[in-house]
């Protein structure tokens, strides 16, 4: 039987598991955590609340806590069926956490941390810009080298790149886009499917033409894929290693 005590333990476990994953995923910036706060290496103590006041999808997309970020597990491996309604693992982002980590683009804090490198140097070779925080640039460079070695008919979904850094908000939430932190990349729009391009009436019909080989390479290096979202965005990848920690 579940008692309120059991629920409290379950709640505490959920918070601890979430904070453990964050500390494992971001060792450069996070030193550890206690039951109530994340401890950053610069000495900042960031209290983490797991109040359940945000429960609707639209509230969670705007006001997620760092614990809420883990509410919907990110599925490992190839998708077996389209995501169920409302399942957008990774779209809950705590703005304070990501802004602390990568900077606020409108205050000019993100730009100085961006580095440029040639995407798919053997195939396309144009420069793209991505943050160097958390070594995201090195992880993306490894992704680029592996995709570059794929057969042309597969890797064509990965170029030309549609965009990386962009100081803007997410279209349907108004919150800072992961592109505004310099942690996201959009691949070839000609091979992409995006829920927002669909007629807005009626349920969303899932579509995808992104090769699984490309998805698997990104995930191996700490990037999640927007093709695993009900609000699918199949050209979109973003550095979210906390969601890939086993």
The residues binding Zn ion (CB under 5 A) are 184, 186, 236
Residues 6+ apart with CB under 8 A from 81: none
Closest approach of Zn ion to the CB of residue 234, in Å: 10
Residues 6+ apart with CB under 8 A from 16: 33, 35
Q: What would you report as the CA-atom Rg of the chain, rounded to the nearest whole angstrom?
A: 18
- Smaller CB separation from Zn ion, 143 or 184: 184
Instruction: Tell me how many degrees the CA angle 57-58-60 measures, rounded to the nearest 5.
Output: 65
- Smaller CB separation from Zn ion, 148 or 186: 186
- Smaller CB separation from Zn ion, 65 or 177: 177
Closest approach of Zn ion to the CB of residue 233, in Å: 6
DSSP string, 76-109: PSS-SSPPPTT--TT----HHHHHHHH--GGGT-
Let me know if 213 is exposed, middle or buried by CB neighbors in 10 A (0-12, 13-18, 19+).
middle
Closest approach of Zn ion to the CB of residue 195, in Å: 12
Maximum separation of any 2 CA atoms in the chain, in Å: 61
- Smaller CB separation from Zn ion, 33 or 179: 179
- Smaller CB separation from Zn ion, 236 or 240: 236
Closest approach of Zn ion to the CB of residue 60, in Å: 19
Closest residue to Zn ion using C-beta atoms: 236
- Smaller CB separation from Zn ion, 26 or 239: 239
Closest approach of Zn ion to the CB of residue 208, in Å: 15
Closest approach of Zn ion to the CB of residue 112, in Å: 22
Under a CB-based contact definition with an 8 Å cutoff, are residues 224 and 240 in contact? yes
How many Cβ atoms from other residues are within 10 Å of residue 108's Cβ? 10
Sheet holding 223-225, edge to edge: 184-186, 236-239, 223-225
């Amino acid at each position: 039987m579940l008692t309120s005590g059991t629920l409290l333990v379950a709640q505490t476990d959920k918070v601890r598991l979430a904070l453990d994953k964050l500390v494992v995923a971001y060792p450069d910036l996070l030193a550890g955590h206690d039951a109530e706060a994340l401890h950053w290496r610069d000495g900042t103590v960031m209290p983490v609340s797991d109040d359940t006041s945000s429960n609707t999808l639209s509230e969670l997309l705007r006001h997620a806590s760092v614990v809420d970020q883990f509410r919907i597990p990110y599925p490992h491996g190839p998708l077996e069926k389209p995501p169920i309604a409302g399942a957008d693992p990774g779209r809950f982002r705590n703005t304070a956490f990501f802004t602390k980590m990568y900077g606020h683009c409108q205050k000019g804090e993100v730009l100085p941390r961006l580095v440029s490198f040639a995407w798919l140097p053997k195939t396309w070779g144009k420069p793209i810009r991505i943050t160097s925080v958390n070594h995201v640039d090195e992880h993306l460079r490894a992704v680029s080298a592996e995709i570059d070695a794929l057969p042309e008919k597969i890797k064509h979904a990965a170029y030309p790149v549609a965009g990386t850094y962009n100081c803007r908000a997410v279209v349907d939430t108004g919150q800072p886009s992961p592109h505004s932190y310099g942690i996201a990349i959009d691949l070839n729009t000609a091979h992409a499917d995006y829920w927002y391009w669909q007629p807005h009436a009626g349920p969303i019909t899932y579509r995808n033409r992104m090769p699984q080989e490309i998805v698997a390479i990104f995930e191996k290096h700490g990037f999640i894929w927007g093709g695993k979202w009900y609000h699918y965005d199949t050209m979109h990848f973003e550095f979210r290693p906390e969601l890939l920690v086993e």
